[in-house]
């Protein structure tokens, strides 16, 4: 078995993709303002493609959600089938006889990019199985098409961050810019345990924007300005000041109507326990908060978040690229 891209046809191939957090700028990014996101390597989606007997078709087995189905029988808007079909069309090859097994440790519908990561792992594993490689830009474009099935108007940030697998500064319809990180950002992610569909929350914001475009555009502008400032602080390693921007971003997201009592309670608990700042991350209404912490405060903040009702916590660090890219 190969863990890498470029496996020989007929041998099994495995690929994985990380979860993600949006550090700054969600929702406003849908309306053309910039945003910042980073991969979360502690949780991953994984796809393995293995040969199957001649004539058996291409089967997808999504272990965590108990689905097993043949590609040819799947509806056109099935996101998993679409990831495979798009990849095969991109490579110009018919479906091989194979079984693709999917597993993931990324919480579903909680703003951690589980759909995008699963699609990315799947596209790459299919390509690798066929002895082909997909560069980050090609992969991101394929995953973007799949993301459209999850929610009609994705900004493209989720597919970009999981495909490029590095911290990015992102503006819709532009290639992602690699963000250099001046000092490590220790982040605690805390799950409210409340599932929330990105599509529903994005549609809610759109209705608000249609009703009162001046107010919403002003909020998006404020978020956009804050993201520009956050970019400078991240590059310069000015972590303390970054915490305050997280708090401000959370307040602006609350003004957009995408926070919730559970998200507010977790952000408040993190701040009281000594976090430098905290905000919801992703679409909101449920899902996760992220708290920026100093390294020696991580345990304390984790404890406080768990006491405040977090269903799960994940520790991660956003840092300079390990490969120096
Ligand atoms: O998929 P989520 O929940 O991480 O949300 C993505 C971020 C949004 O800005 C809310 C939507 C988008 O397409 O950028």
Ligand 1 center–CA 8 separation, angstroms? 36
Quick check: 138 and 112 in contact, CB under 8 A?
no
CB neighbour burial string for 134-159, b if at least 16 within 10 angstroms, e if fewer: bebebbbbbbbbbbbbbbeebbbbbb
User: pLDDT 10s digit of each residue in the chain, 325 long?
Assistant: 333 333 444 689 999 999 999 999 999 999 999 999 999 999 999 999 999 999 999 999 998 889 999 999 999 999 999 999 999 999 999 999 999 999 999 988 778 989 999 999 999 999 999 999 999 999 999 999 999 987 778 999 999 999 999 999 999 999 999 999 999 999 999 999 999 989 999 999 999 999 999 999 999 999 999 999 999 999 999 999 999 999 999 999 999 999 999 999 999 999 999 999 999 999 999 999 999 999 999 999 999 999 999 999 999 999 976 544 3
Q: Is 204 helix (H, G, I), strand (E, B) or coil?
A: helix
Ligand 1 center–CA 202 separation, angstroms? 8
pLDDT of residue 287: 95
| CA separation for the pair 28, 21 (Å, rounded) | 15
Q: Can you read off the two tokens belonging to residue 242?
A: 């970054």
| CA separation for the pair 325, 302 (Å, rounded) | 31
pTM of this prediction? 0.94
pLDDT of residue 122: 98
Quick check: 280 and 263 in contact, CB under 8 A?
yes
Q: How many residues does the chain have?
A: 325
Q: Is 58 helix (H, G, I), strand (E, B) or coil?
A: strand
- Give CA separation, 49 vs 10, 46, 75, 116, 140, in Å: 9, 10, 21, 18, 20
Active-site pick, 64, 77, 158, 264: 158
pLDDT of residue 323: 44
Quick check: 173 and 300 in contact, CB under 8 A?
no
pLDDT of residue 321: 65
pLDDT of residue 5: 38
| CA separation for the pair 253, 150 (Å, rounded) | 22
For the CA of 27, the nearest atom of ligand 1: 9
Contacts 24+ apart (CB under 8 A), 69-74: 71/95
- Give CA separation, 209 vs 28, 203, 214, 217, in Å: 11, 10, 8, 7
Q: Which residues line ligand 1 (CB under 6 A)?
A: 22, 26-27, 29-30, 111, 113, 154-155, 157-158, 198, 202, 282-283
């Amino acid at each position: 078995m190969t863990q890498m891209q470029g496996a020989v046809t007929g041998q099994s191939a495995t690929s994985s993709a990380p979860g993600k957090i949006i550090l700054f700028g969600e929702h406003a990014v849908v309306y053309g303002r910039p945003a910042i996101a980073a991969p979360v390597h502690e949780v991953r989606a994984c796809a393995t493609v293995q040969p199957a007997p001649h004539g058996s078709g291409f089967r997808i087995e999504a272990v965590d959600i108990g689905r097993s189905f043949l590609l040819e029988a799947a509806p056109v808007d099935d996101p998993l089938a679409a990831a495979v079909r798009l990849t095969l069309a991109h490579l110009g090859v018919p479906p091989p006889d194979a079984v693709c097994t999917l597993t993931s440790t990324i919480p579903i519908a909680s703003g951690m990019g589980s759909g995008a990561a699963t699609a990315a792992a799947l596209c790459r594993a299919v390509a690798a199985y066929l002895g082909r490689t997909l560069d980050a830009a090609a992969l991101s474009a394929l995953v973007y098409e799949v993301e459209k099935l999850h929610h009609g108007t994705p900004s493209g940030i989720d597919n970009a961050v999981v495909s490029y697998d590095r911290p990015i500064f992102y503006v819709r319809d532009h290639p992602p810019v690699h963000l250099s990180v001046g000092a490590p950002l220790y982040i605690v992610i805390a799950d409210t345990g409340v599932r929330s569909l990105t599509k529903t929350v994005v549609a809610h914001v759109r209705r608000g924007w249609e009703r009162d475009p001046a107010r919403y555009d002003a909020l998006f502008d404020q978020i956009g300005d804050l993201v520009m400032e956050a970019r400078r602080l991240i590059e310069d390693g000015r972590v303390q000041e970054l915490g305050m921007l997280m708090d401000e971003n959370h307040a602006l997201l609350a003004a957009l109507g995408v926070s919730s009592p559970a998200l507010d309670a977790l952000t408040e608990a993190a701040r009281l326990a000594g976090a430098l700042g905290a905000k919801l991350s992703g679409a909101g209404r449920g899902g996760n908060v992220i708290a920026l912490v100093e390294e020696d405060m991580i345990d304390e903040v984790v404890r406080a978040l768990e006491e405040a009702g977090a269903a799960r916590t994940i520790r991660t660090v956003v840092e300079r690229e390990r490969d120096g890219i």
